[in-house]
Chain A
Amino acid sequence: MENQFLSMQHINKRYAGVQALHDIDFSIREGEIHCLAGTNGSGKSTLVKIISGVEQPDEGSLITIDGNACHHLSRMDALRYGIQVIYQDLSLFPNLSVKENISMGETMAAKSHFISWKGNHEIALNAMKKIGVTLPLDTTVADLTMADQQLVAISRALTRDVRLLILDEPTTALTKKEVNALLAVIKDLKKKGIATLFISHKLNELIEVADRVTILRDGEKTGCFPSSELDDKKIEFHMTGANTSYTPYHVSLASSGQPLLQCSQLQKEHNFADIDLTVYPGEIVGITGLLGSGRTELALALFGLNPPTSGTCYLNGKKLNLNSVGDVVDAGVAYVPENRLVEGLILEQSIAKNIVMTILDDHLTKFGLLDEKRLQESVAALVDELGIKIPSAESAVRTLSGGNQQRVVLAKWIATAPKLFILDNPTVGIDVAAKSSIHTIIKELARDGMGIMIISDEIPEVLYNCNRVLVMNRGRIIGEFESSRTTEDEMQSFIDSHAV
């Protein structure tokens, strides 16, 4: 039998009356690549907090690390056993240099109260050597790309004697190519006997390198499987407890006749060029491509936030003034930004206030004051229509889960009854179950005759929800696929073949 590095039995954790973890058994072998999967709120973060010593489990839990029974595992104990966590936000110091970021852990653990900058330099060089990268040591971390920042975080973890590296959602901010580079680093660590634990709700890339996958649901373990026994469908089933089946969106356009949106030769320096785009009512058009391909820039342009320098755009045969968001909105275009938390919602305000933000003008009494009663009715109707789970329309949006927040944003725009709805990465950072319900809503909207554009990194997302997919690269549309006549692999290899 292989050596267990970490073994946990009967792990329970209650927070203020909520059972976050219920009798979990969990183990990691030396040098193993292990995935911990689960939807939001399944308890995976809590489990990681316990493994890394940030939180202590309730009475009766047994933790054994490297053959030692740990009755009380503190953060410092966990570090001493070589357990390092790289959080999704990377926990770097944006204001400090690469050198100092990498050596910070060592500095804090050292006995001496004084800093040796020469020593820090050595530490940083050695750590980068371990994963075979070179980064400019004196550059401020804020000036690096996301992928390089992640390498800094990994380098920092490796300055200590690492036995288990925990990576929380490591791939969400990376492009496909960067993910592959990361996985190569992880495989290399495995050869050195370092175990890796991936925490993710999106396993696609990770499963290829993983040895085993543990899946949690609602604080309980649904199982631990060799990764060879799993595929996307099975993982999804174990995570959500339900089989979701994809029904590709299909629309027959014969009856639709006139195009809803027709753009020709849109161009803007450093953004996009030669964009010809047509969307028919009832269509869901996907736009995909690597990060930096110009898709978000194009979406912003169509919403009037990033006016193109040349080219024309017609909505329902009427010319669209792309220099003004107001005009575009009046014409019937709605846009849900990628970063919904920052750009789309006022987190401290109530759900109701967020939803009605776009339709205040339609809810005035004859004295020009807000008609509270009608507003409440509109909110209730939308909350009901979109199935937003809320304690009360008056609670702050901040208190909602990611999926429900996204629905509030959708509701806000659906309230304006748009003709064209542009969604930029609508399901980024939300889990499988919430995702599919949002996709269902989108499809229903399209069936009612709305034209929809979905911008997404995830090929399955565009493929299974759109009738047509455009691929962008370096500011241009380089390919068009009809989703019922293509496959995920075909699209992926097409995109990869154009990757720089």
Chain B
Amino acid sequence: MKQLLKRHETYVLAIIIIFSLIITSINPNFLTLENMFDLLKSNAFIGILAIGVLFVLISGGIDISFAATATIAEYLTVIVCLKIGGSMIFAFLMAIFIGILLGAINGYLIDRFSIPPIITTIATMNLYYGLLIVFSKGKWLYTLPPYFRSFADIRVLTLYTKDGLPYGISIITVIWFALMVLASLLLIYTRLGRSIYAIGGDVISAQRVGIRVRFMRIFVYAFMGAMAAIAGIVQALLVQTVAPNSIVGKELNVIAAVVLGGASLAGGVGTVFGMFLGVMLLAIVQNGMTLMKIPAVWYDVFVGLVIIISVGFSSWKAKKSKVTSLIDVQEQSPQEKLSVQGGIS
């Protein structure tokens, strides 16, 4: 119990439960399987990006360019698939290849030239996104290959509403959860995963125990790229169109969700479970506002408040536990004042 109270995740979970209760009391439609399944599907895009961001934050870095990476992977893959046919598996593999390439470029630049990650990825965000706009001329793609539609409709569990409409757990949700499980296993049970925490904790110490820091950096940003690419395809599956400008701009929301889940911008800290809760908290705030008929313009205000309260509370708790003192002045002086040479001669 004591251990639980120390964990950031516990507080995020508590906030989620409180929000859920409030929303349900106003609109009982919130706490239905149908709504929950829908949340888990529609947030898979943000959630998959968040996995990548989590890795980058744990390693002590930050990435702003992932939305641009996701868009490029999505756009190029769909164009190639439209030209040559391909298949869903081919689409994912090709996107992942592009994502890894763009991510690895970030990692290499950051390591090779010691440019702060935020600057590097702001630069590559502009570069990647700019190139996409130049070559695509900003054209939207409205027709996707037919298998994009049929794949998006796959459900691993199908239930029916009272009106006879099907709903259930989407394949997209399954992809998200599978990635979270893999990411979690990777972080906890592999040397690679622990090395990410290690370089986030102290790069020099990491070097000294024999961790190849350059490889780790490139891996982390390439992994981010791969997640961004998968998220890009998931986005295409969800909305069935590809717009060069639909994802860019979501970066800070994703980073906020991950930080909300307990990851530290200073690096070295964060869990997949916490990240999941962070993503869900923001999702629930958004969904709940719709269900409570609060105008969407208030969304940003709520998100801001939720982040300040949640992150602020756990930082404050951590700070409080550090205040200790060796000296207790209330106690009486234990020995007589000794003076070898009293006063000054």
- CA of A271 to CA of B210 in the docked complex: distance in angstroms? 43
Closest to A105 in B: B209
In contact, A93 and B201 (Cβ under 8 angstroms)? yes
Indicate whether A453 reaches chain B with its CB closer than 8 angstroms: no
In contact, B340 and A486 (Cβ under 8 angstroms)? yes
Residues of A within 8 A of B191 (CB): 107-108, 110, 112-115
- CA of A494 to CA of B211 in the docked complex: distance in angstroms? 48
Most B C-beta atoms less than 10 A away, residue of A100, A110, A292, A478: A478
Most B C-beta atoms less than 10 A away, residue of A87, A269, A270: A270
Indicate whether B345 reaches chain A with its CB closer than 8 angstroms: yes
Indicate whether A474 reaches chain B with its CB closer than 8 angstroms: yes
6 A-B pairs with CB atoms under 8 Å apart are: A85-B208, A107-B194, A112-B191, A273-B329, A280-B344, A479-B339
- CA of A229 to CA of B201 in the docked complex: distance in angstroms? 44
- CA of A301 to CA of B210 in the docked complex: distance in angstroms? 45
Contact of B338 among A76, A267, A468, A494 (CB under 8 A): A494
- CA of A438 to CA of B341 in the docked complex: distance in angstroms? 28
Residues of B within 8 A of A478 (CB): 333, 335, 337-338
Indicate whether B61 reaches chain A with its CB closer than 8 angstroms: no
Closest to A86 in B: B208
- CA of A478 to CA of B341 in the docked complex: distance in angstroms? 13
Indicate whether A23 reaches chain B with its CB closer than 8 angstroms: no
Indicate whether A170 reaches chain B with its CB closer than 8 angstroms: no
Q: Mark B324-335, 1 if CB is under 8 A from A, else 0.
A: 011111110111
In contact, B333 and A476 (Cβ under 8 angstroms)? yes
From residue 66 to 115 of chain A, which have CB atoms closer than 8 A to chain B?
A: 75-76, 79, 85, 87, 89, 91-96, 100, 104-105, 107-110, 112-115
Indicate whether A482 reaches chain B with its CB closer than 8 angstroms: yes
- CA of A64 to CA of B304 in the docked complex: distance in angstroms? 63
Indicate whether A303 reaches chain B with its CB closer than 8 angstroms: no
Residues of B within 8 A of A482 (CB): 340-341, 344-345
Residues of B within 8 A of A242 (CB): none
Indicate whether A498 reaches chain B with its CB closer than 8 angstroms: yes
Most B C-beta atoms less than 10 A away, residue of A271, A273, A477, A490: A273
In contact, A480 and B327 (Cβ under 8 angstroms)? no
In contact, B268 and A93 (Cβ under 8 angstroms)? yes
From residue 118 to 171 of chain A, which have CB atoms closer than 8 A to chain B?
A: none
Number of interface residues of A (CB under 8 A): 52
From residue 300 to 345 of chain B, which have CB atoms closer than 8 A to chain A?
A: 325-331, 333-335, 337-342, 344-345
In contact, B329 and A270 (Cβ under 8 angstroms)? yes
- CA of A390 to CA of B210 in the docked complex: distance in angstroms? 38
Indicate whether A475 reaches chain B with its CB closer than 8 angstroms: yes
Residues of B within 8 A of A273 (CB): 329, 333
In contact, B327 and A292 (Cβ under 8 angstroms)? yes
Closest to B185 in A: A114
In contact, B210 and A272 (Cβ under 8 angstroms)? no
Given contacts A100-B194, A115-B188, A269-B329, contact A94 B337 (CB under 8 A): no
Given contacts A107-B191, A115-B189, contact A475 B201 (CB under 8 A): no
In contact, B329 and A115 (Cβ under 8 angstroms)? no
Residues of B within 8 A of A89 (CB): 204-205
- CA of A96 to CA of B193 in the docked complex: distance in angstroms? 13
From residue 456 to 500 of chain A, which have CB atoms closer than 8 A to chain B?
A: 468, 474-482, 485-486, 490, 494, 498
- CA of A271 to CA of B328 in the docked complex: distance in angstroms? 7
Closest 7 pairs (CB-CB, A-B): A95-B268, A93-B201, A273-B329, A270-B325, A292-B326, A91-B205, A95-B201
In contact, A96 and B201 (Cβ under 8 angstroms)? yes
Q: Which residues of A contact B (CB under 8 A)?
A: 75-76, 79, 85, 87, 89, 91-96, 100, 104-105, 107-110, 112-115, 253, 267-274, 280, 292-294, 297, 468, 474-482, 485-486, 490, 494, 498
Contact of B201 among A94, A109, A110 (CB under 8 A): A94
Residues of A within 8 A of B202 (CB): 91-94
In contact, B208 and A91 (Cβ under 8 angstroms)? yes
Q: Mark B170-213, 1 if CB is under 8 A from A, else 0.
A: 00000000000000000011111111011011101110111100
Distance in angstroms from B201 CB to nearest chain A CB is: 4
Residues of A within 8 A of B200 (CB): 95
Distance in angstroms from A253 CB to nearest chain B CB is: 6
Q: Mark B254-269, 1 if CB is under 8 A from A, else 0.
A: 0000000000000111
Residues of A within 8 A of B267 (CB): 95
In contact, A114 and B344 (Cβ under 8 angstroms)? no
Closest to A280 in B: B344
In contact, A114 and B198 (Cβ under 8 angstroms)? no
- CA of A498 to CA of B344 in the docked complex: distance in angstroms? 24
From residue 79 to 104 of chain B, which have CB atoms closer than 8 A to chain A?
A: none
In contact, B337 and A91 (Cβ under 8 angstroms)? no
Closest to B6 in A: A140
- CA of A405 to CA of B107 in the docked complex: distance in angstroms? 36
Contact of A93 among B205, B326, B327 (CB under 8 A): B205
Distance in angstroms from B181 CB to nearest chain A CB is: 16
Q: A92-B205, A110-B191, A494-B338 are in contact. List 4 more A-B contacts (CB 8 A).
A: A95-B267, A115-B194, A292-B327, A474-B331
In contact, A114 and B189 (Cβ under 8 angstroms)? yes
Residues of A within 8 A of B195 (CB): 108
Closest to B327 in A: A475
Residues of A within 8 A of B333 (CB): 273-274, 476, 478
Residues of A within 8 A of B189 (CB): 114-115
Residues of B within 8 A of A294 (CB): 327
